[in-house]
Structure 1
Amino acid sequence: MHGEQMAEEFPVVGLDTDAREAAELLASQRLPGLIVADENGAPYTVLPASQVVRFLVPSYVQDDPSLARVIDESLADQVADKLAGVSVRALLPKELAELPVVNHDDTVLEIAAIMARLRCPLVAVVKDRKIIGAVSASRLLEVAMTPH
């Protein structure tokens, strides 16, 4: 099976998409991440849901998770407000890893190797430089576990 056959429709956001809108999309559809496209609609990177969570948690709590226990719940309830007025671009790590993109004719093993190397929960599938969908880790496992 090839990438084009495994690819599923998947939300694509731009670098300047509102971060709260992107987070709501992740939450409402329970997605492992979002494909981020550049100004020309070409794949730029993948924004894993875990990166959004990382953005929301103050760095001092990330450094010492025991502090989370002493933070007032009303303050914790306001953590999503941190996304106000922020773009998807601000959620991305400063240094981007290799682009999580596969070709439409890549095999299951080729796609799995890229996901494993990049530790990415999904990859964009492209054909003629256009995004035609995505393969998530769960979709890849579904295909791999199905007897042929």
Structure 2
Amino acid sequence: MKAGELAQPLPTVRLDDSALDAARLITAHGLPGIAVLSEDGRPVTVLPAADLLRALVPGPVLDDPSLARVLDERTADRCAADLARRTVREVVTKKDRLASVDADATVVECAALMARTHSPAVAVLGRAGGDLIGLVTAGHLLEVLLPEA
């Protein structure tokens, strides 16, 4: 099976979109991350859901997780409101190139790239690094690779 057959046409966001919109798309579609496009529509990177969680949690709590116990629900609500004021560009921590394959890549090539780049998904691009065909998520790839019980 080839990447082009596995690719799912999933939602995307642009660098200047709201980080909250990205989070909502990820949750609505049950995704481990979302493809990020540049202003001209070219794939840039995959924004993992974990990066959005990192953006939600106040810095001092990231440094000292024991502080999380003292935060109340109102503080959590303010954290979510803060996400609405930030762009995808501001929360992307993975600044390296997009994990991508062409449509003819094998299942093993996709798995190796995900493992090497720690990416929850790989983008499947058309010929010669062209347009985004879709994403292959780690969960979907595991479904294909694992034998049925």
Say which SS state the counterpart of residue 78 (structure 1) adopts: helix
- Structure 1: which 5+ runs fail to align? none
Q: TM-score, normalised by structure 2?
A: 0.92
Matches of residues 97-112 of structure 1 in structure 2 within 5 Å?
A: 97-112=96-111
Q: Over aligned residues, Cα RMSD in angstroms?
A: 1.4
2:117 matched to which residue of 1? 118
Residue 117 of structure 2 aligns with an amino acid whose one-letter code is L
Shift of 1:146: 4.1
Distance 1:29 1:2 in 2: 23
Shift of 1:136: 0.2
Identity of aligned residues (%): 46
User: Contact 2:44–2:97 at 8 Å: present in 1 too?
Assistant: no
Matches of residues 67-146 of structure 1 in structure 2 within 5 Å?
A: 67-93=67-93, 96-128=95-127, 129-146=130-147
Q: Which moved more, 1:112-121 or 1:73-82?
A: 73-82
Say which SS state the counterpart of residue 135 (structure 2) adopts: strand
1:61 matched to which residue of 2? 61
User: Contact 2:98–2:123 at 8 Å: present in 1 too?
Assistant: no
Distance 1:126 1:134 in 2: 9
User: Contact 1:98–1:118 at 8 Å: present in 2 too?
Assistant: no
- Structure 2: which 5+ runs fail to align? none
Shift of 1:39: 1.7
Pairing 1:16–2:25 present: no
Residues 7-61 of structure 1 deviation map (CA, whole Å, 9 limit, x = unaligned): 1111111111121111111122221110001122111000000000001111110
Residues 59-107 of structure 1 deviation map (CA, whole Å, 9 limit, x = unaligned): 11011111100122221232101113321111112x6123211111000
Distance 1:78 1:115 in 2: 34
Distance 1:77 1:113 in 2: 38
How many residues align? The count is 146
Distance 1:55 1:19 in 2: 9
User: Contact 1:2–1:104 at 8 Å: present in 2 too?
Assistant: yes
